[in-house]
Amino acid sequence: MKCKTCGQKAAVNMKQHSLALCKEHFLEWMPAQTARFIKKYWMFGPDEKILVAVSGGKDSLSLWDILWRLGYQADGLYIGLGIDEEIRYSDESHRLTEKFAQERGLKLHVVDIQKTYGHTIPVLAEKTHRGQERPCSVCGLVKRHEMNRLARDMGYDVLATGHNLDDEVAVLFGNTLSWAGEFLVRQSPVLAESDGLARKVKPLCRFYEKDMTAYALLRGIEYIYEECPFSVGSTSIYYKELLNKLENDNPGAKTHFYTRFLEAKKNGLFAEKEMERPALHPCPRCGQPTSGEGLCSFCRTIDKVSGASE
């Protein structure tokens, strides 16, 4: 297989685009495509301040690397979850994120959940019984709260996350199986700023996971190979496997599923649902937007834990 640009030996073959590229041209192609998607979906302009949520994994570190190479003002945010029981997942991902930032002279903000709120994520989940088998629902709640709080308090214009196309398609597939209209209406490469919620963007949403891995490896980015131990056996991993089978027999299937969904939305598929969105108001304690009366679910979770531990 030869590079389409220079004819040298290809390092990456992207069947979904009928495009093979050598290392040099692939490493040029990725930022160029990212810049195209940032413009296409109106994510942010050249003068806006970006906060990149980094987990130490290949996607978020590659996103930060790409934005840095494109010349954006992008700082990082690492949230220490305290998931260090079976493997030293949080410790190791924190170390690699610090190393990445230092090597490039980038600014990294770090929030440690245990230091800030008194408990690690697994303990918060156990005490609130929200964890069920996994602490993911509490973890998601805490991460959303902290990302929004820090983006807003530190004056960033936009919050960027490293979701790739496989992540987006797995979510879309799950929500389509259950026709979860309220989630489908919110799934987008950009969520506009509203009522105290920071604008959220996913600049990697059009790249396959395997191509993100290739980017990280070819750029020599040291990232945490292990997934969070709680992700093992999750529904989203199962959906990703199913979708990869579909993609194998039909290259481009994942891209079509996602881009046609975005087109259908643009053409008004969920116009009625969009009108139904509940009004948000600030939580009386933390000031973050909530749809219910009284405290937001994050503050209620923290209260429940304080009560449970008395």
Where do contacts with Zn ion occur on this chain (CB under 5 A)?
A: 3, 5-6, 22, 25, 283, 285-286, 296, 299
Using CB under 6 A as the binding criterion, the count of chain residues that bind ligand SF4 stands at 8
Return the residue of 140, 251, 292, 294 that touches ligand SF4, per CB under 6 A: 140
Whose structure tokens read 């020599």? Answer: 220
How many angstroms separate the Cα of 34 from the Cα of each of 26, 55, 59, 74, 170? 12, 20, 13, 14, 21
Least distance (Å) from ligand SF4 to the CB of residue 90?
9
Q: Which does 294 bind (CB under 5 to 8 A by kind): ligand SF4, Zn ion, none?
A: none
Q: In this structure, how many other beta carbons lie within 10 angstroms of the beta carbon of residue 49?
A: 15
- Map the footprint of ligand SF4 across residues 273-292, applying CB under 6 A: none
Least distance (Å) from ligand SF4 to the CB of residue 73?
27
Least distance (Å) from Zn ion to the CB of residue 200?
19
The answer to whether 224 contacts ligand SF4 (rule: CB under 6 A) is no
Q: In this structure, how many other beta carbons lie within 10 angstroms of the beta carbon of residue 20?
A: 19
- Map the footprint of ligand SF4 across residues 228-247, applying CB under 6 A: 228, 230-231
Burial, 125: exposed, middle or buried (Cβ in 10 Å; 0-12, 13-18, 19+)?
buried
CA 178 – CA 166 distance, rounded (Å): 19
Give the contact letters, 118-137, x = binds to ligand SF4 (CB under 6 A), - = no. ----------------xxx-
Q: Which does 230 bind (CB under 5 to 8 A by kind): Zn ion, ligand SF4, none?
A: ligand SF4
First to last CA, the chain: 65
* C-beta closer to ligand SF4: residue 22 or 136: 136
Least distance (Å) from ligand SF4 to the CB of residue 81?
6
CA 7 – CA 205 distance, rounded (Å): 29
The piece of 12-20, 45-53, 226-234, 293-301 that touches ligand SF4 (CB under 6 A) is 226-234
Q: Which does 228 bind (CB under 5 to 8 A by kind): ligand SF4, Zn ion, none?
A: ligand SF4
Least distance (Å) from ligand SF4 to the CB of residue 123?
12
> Which sign, positive or negative, has the C-alpha torsion 207, 210, 211, 215?
positive
CB contact at 8 A, 42 and 36: no
Name the β-bridge partners of 73: 49
Q: What are phi and psi of 146, to 5 degrees?
A: -70, -40
The answer to whether 248 contacts ligand SF4 (rule: CB under 6 A) is no
Identify residue 110 by its one-letter amino acid code. V
Residues that bind ligand SF4 (CB under 6 A): 134-136, 139-140, 228, 230-231
